[in-house]
């Protein structure tokens, strides 16, 4: 694992930096829309392992999942899978227990809703259905350009998963500057809550006018914010 990648993962995990805060650091981007947690209370961060199911079949997906490494967040794109689930309890158990994946994130549907809830596994998806994909090998795979587009989004990326959803930090943002942004966003959150809790500023005075930078009781502690290293 690259040093800066490891530092970002450690920083987010140890400080429990939320997907909301990470998205702010990404200029309000990065979220996988409509991908939500099945079980609440899980907080997972890890390098993305991109995989896919195609044309209502999970044959190629089974093959790809053999290569998952411990600590990775397995991200499955359901490409042209209509309203079929890509997999359910069996594959999830294999990934979490035997491949030691950090989390399973499916941009598509899953099955075995009850069993996945019962085991309280760290799973995120767009929903559930009892109807699973077919286990048949596709005669043709997705267009090369499409797979290259997905790999451009996910290869070298970091996934952050919590009760609000999943945010992807793309590889080009995995750098020292992003580490600074994580520091700034935490300081800013502390300043905002101190402003309304202790200084009794309104949210307008806090968020819009940023009075804590000049008039707050602890404004001198927020040098990084005053220097403009980052903003939400």
The tens digit of pLDDT for each residue in 2-46 reads 599 999 999 999 999 999 999 999 999 999 999 999 999 999 999
Cα–Cα dist 176/202, whole Å: 34
| Residue 116 burial class via C-beta count within 10 angstroms: exposed 0-12, middle 13-18, buried 19 and up | buried
Q: Where are the alpha helices (DSSP H) in the chain?
A: 3-15, 19-25, 59-65, 89-93, 113-118, 144-154, 176-197, 203, 223-226
pLDDT of residue 107: 98
pLDDT of residue 46: 98
Contact by Cβ (8 Å): 147, 3? no
Contact by Cβ (8 Å): 91, 117? no
Cα–Cα dist 232/226, whole Å: 13
pLDDT of residue 215: 83
pLDDT of residue 2: 55
pLDDT of residue 226: 58
Please list the ranges in the chain whose pLDDT falls under 70.
Answer: 1-2, 218-232
- All structural domains of the chain: 3-171 (3.50.30.40), 176-226 (no CATH)
Cα–Cα dist 62/58, whole Å: 6
pLDDT of residue 1: 47
Instruction: Give the DSSP H/E element, type plus range, for residue 110.
Output: strand 109-110
pLDDT of residue 168: 98
């Amino acid at each position: 694992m690259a040093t800066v990648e490891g530092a970002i993962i450690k920083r987010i995990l140890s400080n429990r930096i939320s997907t909301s805060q990470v998205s702010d650091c990404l200029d309000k981007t990065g979220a996988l829309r409509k991908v939500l947690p099945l079980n609440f209370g899980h907080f997972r961060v890890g390098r993305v392992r991109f995989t896919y199911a195609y044309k209502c079949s999970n044959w190629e997906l089974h093959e790809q999942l053999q290569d998952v490494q411990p600590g990775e967040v397995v991200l499955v794109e359901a490409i042209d899978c209509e309203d079929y689930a890509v997999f359910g309890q069996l594959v999830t158990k294999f990934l979490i227990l035997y491949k030691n994946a950090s989390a399973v994130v499916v941009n598509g549907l899953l099955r075995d809703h009850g069993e996945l809830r019962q085991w309280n596994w760290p799973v995120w998806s767009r929903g559930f259905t009892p109807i699973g994909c077919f286990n048949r090998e596709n005669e043709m795979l997705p267009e090369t350009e499409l797979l290259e587009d997905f790999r451009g989004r996910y290869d070298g990326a970091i996934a952050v998963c919590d009760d609000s959803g999943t945010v992807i930090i793309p590889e080009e943002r995995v750098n020292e500057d992003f580490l600074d942004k994580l520091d700034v966003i935490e300081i800013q959150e502390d300043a905002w809550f101190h402003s309304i809790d202790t200084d009794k500023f309104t949210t307008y005075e806090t968020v819009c006018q940023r009075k804590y930078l000049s008039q707050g009781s602890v404004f001198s502690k927020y040098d990084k914010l005053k220097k403009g290293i980052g903003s939400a």
